[in-house]
Structure 1
Amino acid sequence: MHGYTRQLGIRRIKMERINYTLETVPLRSFHLRVLSYTIGGSLTDGYILGMIQFALIVYTADVGLTSVWQGLITSSPLMGVFVGCLIFGRLSDKIGRQKIYTLDFIAIVILSLLQFFADSASLLFTLRLLIGICIGAEYSIGPAIVAEFVPGRIREKMLSVVCMVWTIGYVIAAYIGAWLQTTGPESWKWMLSSSAVIALIVLLIRIGMPETPRWLIMNGKIDEARKVVEDKLGSDIDLEPTIEEIQNRKSAQKGQIKDLFIGGQGKKTAFAVIAMIIVDKFPRKQFTMFFMVVALVPLLILALWSGAPAWIIVICFAVHVLGNQSFGTVTAYIYPTEVFPTEIRTTGAGFCSAVSRIFACFGTFAMPIIIEHLGISVALIGMAVILAIAVVVTKVWAPETNNVSIDEL
């Protein structure tokens, strides 16, 4: 009798200690570690895409490139991202986030080092295409991992940091690239291969990264999910609400591209794709629409005011960048990881990123042609029209995900 009473007492103490769910747990050190895993990928991505602008100048002089090869090499990572997002987004929903999350950076380290020996245009194009495929995996998986570990009230802030760090990586590449340009005709070798250093650091940081509990629950590995939560986030978290929400969802099958267009997911997918093409106090939907308009207005001003003084051009450009970066944070990182359920989250995020890369490649080639034949005003008006369409699409199709559990969407 005494033993039974003691067991009841222990059970009662354990129950009293369980105060949180995955969506209500306060910020803990492991949440910051998860953020560090993902911002490392974003930093590397920005660095790789930024460095080519400087390396290509020296590379062209040293190796000799036609304008066609320059365009192909510049856009090759975007082509790779398209492929990587489609393949690894879906694959991650099937086999898990953690495996691909580590393997893609092993590949980036190796491919970055191989760029040191890329003395032909075709080889450099191939290597950067493969690097782009790895970056595509990162686009699909990184933000999804943050979304699946981090509670809703701080998810937007953390994903905003991920977006911001991409810009930091790009700026770092600009400073290092400008300095290395002065070191000699073969400085392109060090510029391009230098991304291996950053990628290696990120890879080492990611060692020991666990699988996300939501993916484990979705795939019936509930005991493993409990262990991950207890080891990494603490023993005071009740997983039952998350388990119940995930298991009760009708769409309990593995992620497939077709699942993105079935039932209520169709409008969510259409919104996320269109929003990404034009790329926690404020509701996501209103925030996105507001900053789309902020980005749109300066384009119209510059398009209609052909003789605008330099200071007006600078202000308009700064306001446009502010708006674009602000709504881009939501459409590129936050919405895609929140509007899709766990079983197709990285499939959906990957699909949206992949489609956006198609239009990014198109814009890279088409914009100079449009400006040359139709003028800068037509190009700016065209961009403003696309943003206007995005505002309408957001108003009609975008769900409101602020303060909503990602297991309920």
Structure 2
Amino acid sequence: MTAPPQSASESETSLTRPERLDRLPFTRKHGRLLTGSGIGWALDAMDVGLISFVMAALAAQWQLTQTEQSWLGSIGFVGMALGASLGGLLADKIGRRSVFALTLLVYGLATGASALAGGLAVLLVLRFIVGLGLGAELPVASTLVSEFAPSRIRGRMVVILEAFWAVGWLLAALTAYFIIPLSDDGWRWAFALGLVPAAYAIVIRRGLPESVRFLEAKGRDAEAERVVREFEASAGVPSPPEPAGGGSSTEAAAVGSPQQTAVETSSATSSAPGLADLFGSAMRRRTAALWLTWFGVNFAYYGAFIWIPSLLHDGGFTLVKSFQFTLIITIAQLPGYALAAVLIEVWGRRATLATFLAGSAISAVLFGQAESDTMILVTGCALSMFNLGAWGALYAVTPEVYPTQIRATGAGWAAAFGRIASIIAPLSVPVLYSAGGLALVFAVLGAAFVLAMVAALFLPEMAGEELLE
């Protein structure tokens, strides 16, 4: 016998909360989430970008050696490696939104305090603390956006989130170009702007929703239902009717006996995600591929962009002209993100990421061979465009690799492993530069891009698919 057709309300009641979020169009609530997270992302990028310009200024003012500049460029990434791993664990334990706000507060206050540093030792300590906050923020923010984005546009939303990085780095370049050269204390005023994230943490804590998937995993069903209904109301989509006994209709459809509910809730709230979960039989291959991709991208990106202003200055450019060239190269990040945002839902994650990494490798080698001002700008802009498009695709695919209970942990550990490369790269550049000049430096960075490209081909393709539960 054929079953009678379901009514609209029965069909809606049978949907899980993630499925109800997935069916929604892009709404103002999505826009607020994306913008709110993106502003935090841009402030993060601005802080990371500033240190590359401050290094060039302090090298002259404090008579820093290349080794001391290397430590100044790398110490923040030591903090970022630790912060990324701890931030992911905390986000899976206490929530994405809370950790996001906390990270903004930590690195905002530490950056502001950096303006008062009287010597290299104090500045190194403060930059390490800044790194703790910065490292924890990025994987948490991308996880939060991924868990709210409808599956058909999830990759695009995360790439757009990552595009705020270009905005922040551009703000850093503008600050460096217009403020740092004004006086010997120009770099201090640049760091003082870092207090903005501390104030913005209050906005994040109050204005952004907590992840529905996280709330469900912790047994906080009433909160999860309220958030979903707010998004449905924003889209003009009717929510399922409340059951007569109270609670949400989704709860009634999804759970059985009270005893079963108690067991599931206890399991959800007591489980403690950790590193071992990432290397179980189901996850080890994708974890290895993801970590190698993050390692290669971090090594190449930070090896290049932390040092470009200083390398140009050492190559004979004035400080102002080196900042001007870096500003132009930074602007090229924006079309890279725009192109990646389009292609990631057309080509898929793997193809987009691998293509942009291949373009980054070629551009890096050509930049190392460039001799004229024109070729430096052309190859530098190509490197910037391809590299940042690759970053957008990488941040899109990373949260998709893991299920909800270890998603932030997995993203955080991938970022943490990548930060090891971002520590090594700035330390390696002076050694490579002494051995073979720019050509050797950027040939090695190109090889790192190739490593990342090959590893990316082993990542799962999740375009249009629902996130793992």
Matches within 5 A, 1:65-76: 65-76=64-75
Which one of the candidate residues 310, 317, 320 is aligned to 2:383? 320
- How far residue 294 of structure 1 moved from its aligned partner, in angstroms, is 2.1
Matches within 5 A, 1:144-293: 144-201=143-200, 203-234=202-233, 236=238, 240=250, 253-279=271-297, 280-293=345-358
Partner-residue secondary structure (3-state), 1:21: helix
Change (3 A) 1:220 1:36: same
- Give the distance between the partners of 2:254 and 2:110, measured in 1 at CA: 40
Which one of the candidate residues 355, 364, 369 is aligned to 2:431? 369
- Give the distance between the partners of 1:372 and 1:57, measured in 2 at CA: 18
- Give the distance between the partners of 1:221 and 1:119, measured in 2 at CA: 48
Contact 2:89 / 2:408 at 8 angstroms: preserved in 1? yes
Contact 2:102 / 2:201 at 8 angstroms: preserved in 1? no
Partner-residue secondary structure (3-state), 2:146: helix
- Give the distance between the partners of 2:365 and 2:97, measured in 1 at CA: 45
Change (3 A) 1:379 1:208: closer
Partner-residue secondary structure (3-state), 2:68: helix
**Matched residue type, 2:382:** V
**Matched residue type, 2:93:** K
- Give the distance between the partners of 2:281 and 2:274, measured in 1 at CA: 14
- How far residue 346 of structure 1 moved from its aligned partner, in angstroms, is 0.9
Contact 2:293 / 2:451 at 8 angstroms: preserved in 1? no
- How far residue 325 of structure 1 moved from its aligned partner, in angstroms, is 1.8
Identity of paired residues, percent? 24
- How far residue 108 of structure 1 moved from its aligned partner, in angstroms, is 2.7
In structure 1, the residue matched to 2:308 is: none
- Alpha-carbon RMSD: 3.0
Identify unmatched segments of 5+ residues in structure 2. Answer: 1-6, 241-248, 256-262, 298-344
- How far residue 58 of structure 1 moved from its aligned partner, in angstroms, is 4.5
Change (3 A) 1:308 1:179: closer
Change (3 A) 1:359 1:16: closer
- Give the distance between the partners of 1:176 and 1:381, measured in 2 at CA: 30
Identify unmatched segments of 5+ residues in structure 1. Answer: 1-11
Change (3 A) 1:115 1:371: closer
In structure 2, the residue matched to 1:339 is: 401
- Give the distance between the partners of 1:205 and 1:219, measured in 2 at CA: 21
**Matched residue type, 2:352:** F
Contact 1:337 / 1:345 at 8 angstroms: preserved in 2? yes
- Give the distance between the partners of 1:381 and 1:142, measured in 2 at CA: 33
- How far residue 243 of structure 1 moved from its aligned partner, in angstroms, is 6.5
**Matched residue type, 1:371:** Y
Change (3 A) 1:205 1:139: closer
In structure 2, the residue matched to 1:400 is: 461
Contact 2:106 / 2:133 at 8 angstroms: preserved in 1? yes
- Give the distance between the partners of 1:182 and 1:25, measured in 2 at CA: 49
Change (3 A) 1:292 1:186: closer
Residues 269-316 of structure 1, C-alpha deviations (whole Å, 9 max, x = no match): 11111111222222111112222222233445567xx58766555444
Change (3 A) 1:105 1:314: closer
In structure 2, the residue matched to 1:354 is: 416
- How far residue 96 of structure 1 moved from its aligned partner, in angstroms, is 1.4
- How far residue 259 of structure 1 moved from its aligned partner, in angstroms, is 0.4
- How far residue 403 of structure 1 moved from its aligned partner, in angstroms, is 0.3
Matches within 5 A, 1:43-192: 43-59=42-58, 65-192=64-191
Contact 2:105 / 2:197 at 8 angstroms: preserved in 1? no
Select between 106-115 and 121-130 the one with higher mean Cα deviation. Answer: 106-115
- Give the distance between the partners of 1:386 and 1:104, measured in 2 at CA: 29
Change (3 A) 1:231 1:296: same
In structure 2, the residue matched to 1:385 is: 447
Select between 133-142 and 53-62 the one with higher mean Cα deviation. Answer: 53-62
- Give the distance between the partners of 2:448 and 2:51, measured in 1 at CA: 28
- Give the distance between the partners of 2:122 and 2:284, measured in 1 at CA: 40
Contact 2:400 / 2:462 at 8 angstroms: preserved in 1? yes
In structure 2, the residue matched to 1:6 is: none
- How far residue 146 of structure 1 moved from its aligned partner, in angstroms, is 0.0
Contact 1:56 / 1:188 at 8 angstroms: preserved in 2? no
Change (3 A) 1:180 1:213: same
What TM-score comes out, normalization by structure 1 length? Answer: 0.85
- Give the distance between the partners of 1:371 and 1:60, measured in 2 at CA: 17
Change (3 A) 1:64 1:374: closer
- How far residue 59 of structure 1 moved from its aligned partner, in angstroms, is 4.3
Contact 2:77 / 2:419 at 8 angstroms: preserved in 1? yes
Contact 1:62 / 1:186 at 8 angstroms: preserved in 2? no
**Matched residue type, 2:156:** K
Select between 23-32 and 365-374 the one with higher mean Cα deviation. Answer: 365-374
- Give the distance between the partners of 1:301 and 1:178, measured in 2 at CA: 26
